[in-house]
Amino acid sequence: MQTETSQHVFHAKSPAADRAPDSNAMKGRSRWLKWIRLASMLVILVSLMLLIRALPLDQLSVVLKSSIGDLGMWGPVVLAAIYIIATVLFVPGTILTLAAGAIFGLAIGTATVSVGSTVGASLAFLIARYGARKKVASMAQHNRHFGAIDQAIEEGGWKIVALLRLSPAIPFNLQNYLYGLTPVGFWPYVVASWIAMLPGTFLYVYIGHVTGAAIAGDRERSPVEWAMLIVGLLATVAVTVYVTRLARRKLNEQVDGENEIASESEEPNGEDAPAVKTSAERQPIKTLVMAASAVLLFTFSLFANQNSDRIQDSIVSMFGPPQVEMNERYGEKPAGPKVDHSALDQLLKSHVDAEGWVDYGSLAGSEDQLQGYLDQIAEVSFDELGRDEKLTLLINGYNAATLKLIVENLPIDSIMDIPESQRWDAKRWEIGGKRMSLNQLEHEEIRPNFAEPRIHFALVCAAVGCPPLRNEAYAAEKLNSQLEEQAQYVHDHSTWFQFDPGRSELSLTKLYSWYGDDFVQKSGSVEQFAANYSSELARFLNSGETPVTTWLPYDWSLNSKSNKQAR
């Protein structure tokens, strides 16, 4: 009796006794999981910052603006179409969303992504429901969580769809197809998806807008503008996180309830019933996935930073100026004709100061004289000129055409504000009897035919980050000394050249990155070419040391007197 009683008492008390330690253990585990998730988020943020530092995002921004942003009213249409295709093909759209913010700004960027993502999600839904139902069903049939969501949608309809969009338990692109198998109607699905995706869309577009403004360098923002952008970003993040947490809590209640109902209905006797995990039980798995993702992203960001030069060179070779083999194809002709550049010389002396800042307002009043000079050099017989006369004509022609381009598009903040079709690729400039674009002039007429990398310090792109425009025209009889002065000026100013021998750090203008192969062909490396204009760097290299070379920011703001600043 005594044994039976003690056994009875033990069994009666054991559930209560066991619950307290289990509850404490669960709370302790929950705290640990929370700290692990927080640490993972911090690691992910640090990793993203490292990636931004390692990748040439300014170059990519210029490429995106040139390829999509310059399409005018068709730009958003093209990006939305790309977004639709990416959504249907399971391609993540995060980069496209960030790009939309960087290229089009908040309003148009958000509208573009919203239309693209909603139309793409709608097409995926229709494909699943009417075109590829068996394939999608096979993907979902072993997913117990989807079964619970399916039942929840049958009860809650579009409300569950909206909650899932706000706090996705299933990846976005997969959701689009799986919803086609559920009872939800097409139009309720479309409207719920569109509205619920807007907070996340706006957040990523905002991030793209802020980072795009920071890296593109097309103009300087005031401290007040930056403060408003940052405060707006933080507010957007806070609201999005708050809404997401509310949605996740409500969704977990719905889905966990459906899981329990499904489990009870399938195994009424409770024997051998498959375990269906609740949201709390799934937290360790989610935390593990998040931590693993953070470690992988951090590892990749470290690799990217260690190989940033190689990555940047690869991207520049893909999207930057074309590489050419430089040759000296022309000889001198002392008895050949001379080209008169006095008209351009007078314009430059009148409207450009000694540091290369341009008074575009006053130059606009002399636009007829500028056009007159361009008309004059269009009639020159190029083939009859000697080597220096040819190169002088091409350099002056390029700079005069750039000035004309800016003047006829005023008011603008940057040359990048001019559509690509009207900017460097517009085949409208006639020089020496040839009609060509500015890109053709530089990459087809100058670089392959003159072994002269110093032209990169003479050709002007009308930007603050560009070497200064001389307030005189180039002249064949002193061309070499003018090019040498330009190169020396660049290496004497921190905007384009910085060297710290104590830290073995060399920072160069991105002209050295974009046209690196030209300098390598001339001197063996960009560092050796730069050393021609820095005795300190030359001594450092001669001692057998190798600096760590990085690229300085390139400011695309207009090189106007109103933007005048210390070099």
DSSP 113-145: HHHHHHHHHHHHHHIIIIISHHHHHHHHTT-HH
Same domain, 425 and 532: yes
Same domain, 250 and 381: no
Write down the pLDDT at residue 373. 97
Same domain, 355 and 256: no
Give the confidence band of 535 by pLDDT, cuts at 50, 70, 90.
very high
Give the confidence band of 69 by pLDDT, cuts at 50, 70, 90.
low
Same domain, 112 and 233: yes
In a domain, 119, yes or no: yes
In a domain, 315, yes or no: no
Write down the pLDDT at residue 272. 47
Write down the pLDDT at residue 116. 92
Question: pLDDT tens, 320-346?
Answer: 678 889 999 999 999 999 999 999 999
Mean per-residue pLDDT for 171-197?
Answer: 80
Pairing mode of beta strands 429-431, 434-436:
antiparallel
Q: How many domains in the chain?
A: 2
Ramachandran bin of 500, using left for φ above 0, alpha for ψ from -120 to 50, beta for the remaining angles: beta
**In Å, what is the CA distance from 502 to each residue of 139, 348, 535?**
60, 41, 15
- CA-based nearest residue to 444, from 453, 452, 436: 436
Write down the pLDDT at residue 484. 97
Write down the pLDDT at residue 377. 96
Contact 117, 93 (CB under 8 A): yes
Q: CA quadruple 114, 115, 119, 122: dihedral positive or negative?
A: positive
- CA-based nearest residue to 186, from 148, 224, 157: 157
In a domain, 135, yes or no: yes
Write down the pLDDT at residue 170. 58
Pairing mode of beta strands 497-500, 434-436:
unpaired
Write down the pLDDT at residue 151. 55
Q: Is the pLDDT of residue 126 over 50?
A: yes
Same domain, 374 and 232: no
Mean per-residue pLDDT for 385-401?
Answer: 97
- CA-based nearest residue to 48, from 171, 205, 211, 255: 211
Of 223, 258, 273, the one marking the end of a domain is: 273
Same domain, 265 and 373: no
Distance CA 255, CA 149 (A): 6
pTM metric for this prediction: 0.56
Same domain, 362 and 492: yes
Distance CA 71, CA 65 (A): 9
DSSP helix/strand/coil, 241:
helix
Give the confidence band of 270 by pLDDT, cuts at 50, 70, 90.
very low
- CA-based nearest residue to 200, from 141, 267, 118: 118
Q: Please calculate the CA angle 440-441-442 and round it to the nearest 5 degrees.
A: 90
Phi then psi dihedrals of residue 507, to 5 deg? -120, 125
DSSP E strands: which ranges in 62-189?
none
Distance CA 290, CA 288 (A): 5
Q: Please calculate the CA angle 474-477-479 and round it to the nearest 5 degrees.
A: 45
Domain that holds residue 534: 342-563
Of 220, 255, 273, the one marking the end of a domain is: 273
Give the confidence band of 59 by pLDDT, cuts at 50, 70, 90.
low
- CA-based nearest residue to 448, from 394, 367, 382: 394
Write down the pLDDT at residue 243. 45
Write down the pLDDT at residue 316. 52
Question: Tokens representing 54?
Answer: 């390692």
Question: pLDDT tens, 208-243?
Answer: 776 655 444 444 445 554 555 555 555 545 544 544
Radius of gyration of the chain (CA): 32
Distance CA 53, CA 179 (A): 39
Of 238, 254, 273, the one marking the end of a domain is: 273
Question: Tokens representing 311?
Answer: 């990555």
Contact 101, 206 (CB under 8 A): yes
Write down the pLDDT at residue 538. 96
Write down the pLDDT at residue 35. 84
> Residue 565, exposed/middle/buried by CB under 10 A (0-12, 13-18, 19+)?
exposed
In a domain, 46, yes or no: no
Q: Is the pLDDT of residue 24 over 80?
A: no
Same domain, 254 and 353: no
The segment with the largest mean pLDDT, out of 42-51, 89-98, 521-530, is 521-530
In a domain, 456, yes or no: yes
**Please, how many CA atoms are within 13 Å of residue 303, restricted to the half-sphere of its CB?**
6
Q: Is the pLDDT of residue 371 over 90?
A: yes
In a domain, 295, yes or no: no
Same domain, 64 and 199: yes
Neighbours of 297 (CB within 10 A): 19
Distance CA 106, CA 108 (A): 6
Q: Is the pLDDT of residue 348 over 70?
A: yes
Residue 393 vs residue 294, higher pLDDT:
393
Same domain, 429 and 510: yes
Same domain, 225 and 86: yes
Sequence-ordered list of residues with C-beta below 8 angstroms from that of 329, at least 6 positions apart, any chain: 448, 449, 450
Q: Is the pLDDT of residue 66 over 80?
A: no
Same domain, 460 and 359: yes
Write down the pLDDT at residue 346. 97
Give the confidence band of 15 by pLDDT, cuts at 50, 70, 90.
very low
- Among 295-309, 405-419, 457-471, 523-537, the least confident range: 295-309
Distance CA 64, CA 82 (A): 13
Q: Is the pLDDT of residue 419 over 70?
A: yes
In a domain, 303, yes or no: no
Hey, what amino acid is at 186? F
Give the confidence band of 311 by pLDDT, cuts at 50, 70, 90.
low
In a domain, 40, yes or no: no
Write down the pLDDT at residue 216. 44
Distance CA 24, CA 231 (A): 40
